[in-house]
A and B are shown apart, each in its own frame.
Chain A
């Protein structure tokens, strides 16, 4: 039945948004993970969303969403001169991640709002289905 697709669509969005929330949590948790090498430093991870085209029916216009992948932010890392720091390298520098906490907070609010919206869609769709099932009783 075609109207069951609404659960797939909203479900795909729930999954994508929760993955986005996971990435936000990861970024925030590692916001202060300093390292002594520029290559080992944690970089802010951002999700890339893409519409999920129905392979069997590309004409179909009601499509879900999926996370295409994760990209690492290319913002330059912060280099800090702290010779007393235990993680400092030979020159006395430490590297801080390029996580922007304010950006991540905004991202988190956006993701959780989108998640809530899709939960509401699922609830409404459930009510519609229940009404349909009760038809004629």
Chain B
């Protein structure tokens, strides 16, 4: 077993959740920007894409562009359907964004908890006690 595989899906889940936190923070930052459309990710799809192992291309020069991405692309983004559309074309609903952000933070902490558990298990196995 590779050590990298020991963390299972939680590593990718953490990545997707931190990306979602960024996205929701961006929605909240643009709560007063005219014409801004709030976006969120399709979590299942994004996690599925993040877990697919991409063959990594070798870079032999500093100017080469690595294809190592987080596997998150705009393709997983979805626009939010506004419940109360505003006149300036902004679709950010602060209540929805705030609760989604709080839930996402909690899920992030849960992922961290799972990872901590995995690390504890590995440490125990290494020490052998």
Within 8 A of A (CB), among B3-38: 14, 18-19, 21-23, 25-26, 28-34, 36
Asked if A3 lies at the interface with its beta carbon under 8 angstroms from chain B, I say: yes
The number of chain B residues touching the other chain, given as a range, is 20 to 34
Contact partner, A62, options B23, B36, B105, B123, Cβ 8 Å: B23
Say what secondary structure dominates the interface of chain A.
Answer: helix
Q: Which of A26-34, A83-91, A120-128 contacts B (4 or more CB under 8 A)?
A: A120-128
Q: Give the CA-CA distance A135 to B111 in the complex, in Å.
A: 11
Contact A61 B31 (CB under 8 A): no
Q: Which of A12, A120, A121 has the most CB of B within 10 A?
A: A121
Which A residues fall within an 8 A CB radius of B? 2-3, 5-6, 9-10, 12-13, 16-17, 20, 48-51, 59, 61-65, 110-111, 113-114, 117-118, 120-121, 124-125, 127-128, 131-132, 135-136
Q: Give the CA-CA distance A111 to B32 in the complex, in Å.
A: 9
With A61-B39, A114-B31 given, is the CB distance from A121 to B18 under 8 Å? no
Q: Which of B47-55, B56-64, B94-102 contacts A (4 or more CB under 8 A)?
A: B94-102
With A9-B22, A49-B34, A62-B23 given, is the CB distance from A124 to B29 under 8 Å? no
Closest chain A residue to B112 by CB distance? A131
Q: Which of B29, B108, B116 has the most CB of A within 10 A?
A: B29
Type the 1/0 row for B69-111, where 1 means its CB is closer than 8 Å to any CB of A: 0100110010000000000000000100010011001001100
